[in-house]
Amino acid sequence: MGQQSLIYSFIARGTVVLAEYTQFTGNFTTIANQCLQKIPATNNKFTYNCDRHTFNYLVEDGYTYCVVADESVGRQLPIAFLERIKDDFKKRYGGGKADTAVAHSLNKDFGSLTGVKR
Protein backbone atom coordinates (compact mmCIF):
# COMPACT_ATOMS: atom_id res chain seq x y z
CA MET A 1 0.00 0.00 0.00
CA GLY A 2 3.01 2.21 0.33
CA GLN A 3 1.60 5.09 2.32
CA GLN A 4 1.14 4.63 6.07
CA SER A 5 -2.17 6.43 5.69
CA LEU A 6 -3.60 3.39 3.86
CA ILE A 7 -4.02 0.80 6.58
CA TYR A 8 -5.85 -2.25 5.24
CA SER A 9 -7.18 -3.44 1.92
CA PHE A 10 -9.11 -6.37 0.51
CA ILE A 11 -10.77 -7.65 -2.64
CA ALA A 12 -13.94 -9.71 -2.37
CA ARG A 13 -16.23 -11.56 -4.76
CA GLY A 14 -19.65 -11.01 -3.29
CA THR A 15 -19.03 -11.37 0.44
CA VAL A 16 -16.08 -13.79 0.07
CA VAL A 17 -12.76 -12.06 0.73
CA LEU A 18 -10.32 -13.39 -1.87
CA ALA A 19 -7.30 -11.41 -0.72
CA GLU A 20 -6.44 -8.98 2.03
CA TYR A 21 -3.34 -7.15 3.18
CA THR A 22 -2.27 -5.03 6.13
CA GLN A 23 0.86 -4.26 8.09
CA PHE A 24 -1.13 -3.06 11.09
CA THR A 25 -3.33 -4.48 13.84
CA GLY A 26 -6.69 -3.16 14.95
CA ASN A 27 -10.43 -3.66 14.76
CA PHE A 28 -10.58 -2.10 11.28
CA THR A 29 -10.50 -5.56 9.66
CA THR A 30 -13.63 -6.58 11.56
CA ILE A 31 -15.43 -3.32 10.78
CA ALA A 32 -14.49 -3.48 7.08
CA ASN A 33 -15.80 -7.03 6.81
CA GLN A 34 -19.01 -6.19 8.67
CA CYS A 35 -19.61 -3.34 6.22
CA LEU A 36 -18.95 -5.73 3.32
CA GLN A 37 -21.89 -7.86 4.45
CA LYS A 38 -24.21 -4.83 4.27
CA ILE A 39 -23.21 -2.82 1.19
CA PRO A 40 -25.31 -3.14 -1.97
CA ALA A 41 -23.93 -5.36 -4.74
CA THR A 42 -24.64 -2.70 -7.37
CA ASN A 43 -21.77 -0.88 -9.05
CA ASN A 44 -20.97 2.11 -6.86
CA LYS A 45 -18.49 3.83 -4.54
CA PHE A 46 -19.05 4.16 -0.81
CA THR A 47 -17.15 5.76 2.06
CA TYR A 48 -17.97 5.28 5.74
CA ASN A 49 -16.27 7.08 8.63
CA CYS A 50 -15.54 5.32 11.93
CA ASP A 51 -12.91 5.77 14.67
CA ARG A 52 -10.90 8.39 12.72
CA HIS A 53 -10.70 6.08 9.69
CA THR A 54 -12.48 6.01 6.36
CA PHE A 55 -13.73 2.70 4.99
CA ASN A 56 -13.73 3.12 1.22
CA TYR A 57 -15.44 0.66 -1.12
CA LEU A 58 -15.58 0.34 -4.88
CA VAL A 59 -18.10 -2.23 -6.12
CA GLU A 60 -17.94 -3.29 -9.75
CA ASP A 61 -19.05 -6.39 -11.66
CA GLY A 62 -19.58 -8.50 -8.54
CA TYR A 63 -16.26 -7.60 -6.93
CA THR A 64 -15.72 -5.27 -3.99
CA TYR A 65 -12.44 -3.44 -3.51
CA CYS A 66 -11.88 -1.93 -0.06
CA VAL A 67 -9.24 0.23 1.56
CA VAL A 68 -9.23 1.58 5.10
CA ALA A 69 -7.42 4.89 5.43
CA ASP A 70 -6.60 7.42 8.08
CA GLU A 71 -9.38 10.01 8.08
CA SER A 72 -6.86 12.84 7.51
CA VAL A 73 -6.14 11.50 4.01
CA GLY A 74 -9.58 12.46 2.71
CA ARG A 75 -11.43 10.53 0.03
CA GLN A 76 -9.53 11.18 -3.21
CA LEU A 77 -6.37 9.13 -2.47
CA PRO A 78 -8.24 6.02 -1.24
CA ILE A 79 -10.61 6.04 -4.23
CA ALA A 80 -7.66 6.47 -6.64
CA PHE A 81 -5.94 3.54 -4.88
CA LEU A 82 -9.07 1.39 -5.31
CA GLU A 83 -9.28 2.24 -9.02
CA ARG A 84 -5.63 1.20 -9.43
CA ILE A 85 -5.94 -2.12 -7.62
CA LYS A 86 -9.18 -2.84 -9.50
CA ASP A 87 -7.42 -2.33 -12.83
CA ASP A 88 -4.40 -4.39 -11.73
CA PHE A 89 -6.66 -7.14 -10.37
CA LYS A 90 -8.64 -7.33 -13.62
CA LYS A 91 -5.43 -7.55 -15.67
CA ARG A 92 -4.02 -10.30 -13.47
CA TYR A 93 -7.16 -12.36 -12.79
CA GLY A 94 -9.57 -11.33 -15.55
CA GLY A 95 -9.31 -14.70 -17.29
CA GLY A 96 -11.57 -16.40 -14.77
CA LYS A 97 -9.20 -17.34 -11.93
CA ALA A 98 -10.94 -14.91 -9.56
CA ASP A 99 -14.37 -16.30 -10.46
CA THR A 100 -13.53 -19.66 -8.89
CA ALA A 101 -11.02 -18.62 -6.21
CA VAL A 102 -11.77 -19.61 -2.62
CA ALA A 103 -11.54 -17.33 0.40
CA HIS A 104 -8.07 -15.84 0.97
CA SER A 105 -6.54 -17.91 -1.85
CA LEU A 106 -5.11 -14.81 -3.54
CA ASN A 107 -3.40 -13.41 -0.41
CA LYS A 108 0.06 -14.48 -1.59
CA ASP A 109 0.00 -12.11 -4.58
CA PHE A 110 -2.01 -9.33 -3.00
CA GLY A 111 0.90 -7.49 -1.38
CA SER A 112 2.51 -6.97 -4.78
CA LEU A 113 -0.85 -5.99 -6.25
CA THR A 114 -1.19 -3.21 -3.67
CA GLY A 115 2.37 -2.03 -4.18
CA VAL A 116 3.76 -3.46 -0.94
CA LYS A 117 6.61 -5.95 -1.10
CA ARG A 118 6.31 -8.94 1.22
In sequence order, which residues have a C-beta less than 8 Å from that of residue 108 and are 6 or more positions away? none
Please check whether residue 15 is in contact with residue 37, taking contact to mean a CB–CB distance below 8 angstroms.
yes
> What average pLDDT score do residues 15-19 get?
94
Q: What is the pTM of this model?
A: 0.90
- CATH architecture for residues 6-111: 2-Layer Sandwich (3.30)
CA 93/CA 101 separation, integer angstroms: 10
Sheet of strand 6-13: strand arrangement? 16-22, 6-13, 63-70, 53-60, 44-50
Mean pLDDT score of the chain: 89
- The dihedrals phi and psi of 47, each to the nearest 5 degrees, come to -135, 130
pLDDT, tens only, 18-45: 999 998 999 999 999 999 999 998 999 9
User: 118 pLDDT exceeds 70?
Assistant: no
CA 36/CA 23 separation, integer angstroms: 20
